[in-house]
Amino acid sequence: MKFSLNVDHVATLRNARGETQPDPVTFALMAEQFGVDGIVVHLREDRRHINDRDVRLLRELITTKLDLEMAAEDEIIKIACELQPELATLVPEKRQELTTEGGLNVLDNLERLKDTIQELHSYNIPVSLFIEPDINQIDASADINADIIEIHTGNYANAPTVEEMIEEMERIRTAAKHAKRIGLGVNAGHGLNYNNMKEFTLIDEIDEVSIGQAVIARSIFVGIEKAIKEMSQLINTKIS
């Protein structure tokens, strides 16, 4: 399983004072040195964390791969086509939300998403759709030519009881197996942390996890190298 690091919240901290530090680009370059497999950033329409300068510099400087999270909006699609990230992950975006709150409703937005995927494909950009672990959403994603799905793991991470956590994990496992069976790549993310990550190592169908908040937060206490290496070790150690 690969580990992609989302550095949005380094930019959140920088922007809190409107100054230049901490720099998410520097953080990403250091993270690469400590072994992450890719860098993820969400270029939001309101630019509340990552901005155009960040994404352009990352495109130029990182040596792993760039996963650009984005809404299916014309302005951002244009930037993606110019920058040609190794992956574009389409997510729903609401201005009021603190973070992405759930998966895309692919079934209700088939035409818009299909056109966006087609446009990104015309620039040789593979496309992932961030969706709930739901068979109908997965089938719809395949129908409109998505390459990968990213399964939203927020309901698992925030489950109020152990029973609900186990149930949600079962949904994720079933969804991952189904997606793989029909030829989609499978990523997962949102709310994964040092305590809830281990179970995921049992799902062989998940190719990659995308983790931000937990690693950025831990790096404040233990440093970037230790925070990244601890998470890499969790991801690469299969529990039995």
145 SS3 class: coil
How far is Cα 151 from Cα 132, in angstroms, rounded to an integer?
6
Verify binding: residue 213, ligand PXP, rule CB under 6 A.
yes
Minimum CB distance to ligand PXP smaller for 155 or for 210: 210
Task: Say which DSSP state 69 is in.
Answer: E
Bridge partners (DSSP) of residue 87 are 67
Between CA 192 and CA 66 the distance in angstroms is 20
Q: Does 211 bind ligand PXP (CB under 6 A)?
A: yes
Nearest residue (CB) to ligand PXP, 34 versus 194: 194
Q: Which C-beta is closer to ligand PXP: that of 85 or that of 212?
A: 212
The number of residues that bind ligand PXP (CB under 6 A) is 19
Q: Is 141 helix (H, G, I), strand (E, B) or coil?
A: helix
Closer of 137 and 210 to ligand PXP (Cβ): 210
Choice from 10, 77, 83, 100 touching ligand PXP (CB under 6 A)? 100
Q: Pick from 173, 112, 182: which is nearest to 147 by CA?
A: 182
Residues 61-80 that bind ligand PXP (CB under 6 A): 69
How far separated are the first and last CA of the chain, in Å rounded?
A: 16
Which amino acid, 47?
Answer: R
Active-site residue list: 42, 69, 190
State the residues that interact with ligand PXP by CB under 6 A: 6, 8, 42, 69, 89, 91, 99-100, 130, 150, 189-192, 210-214
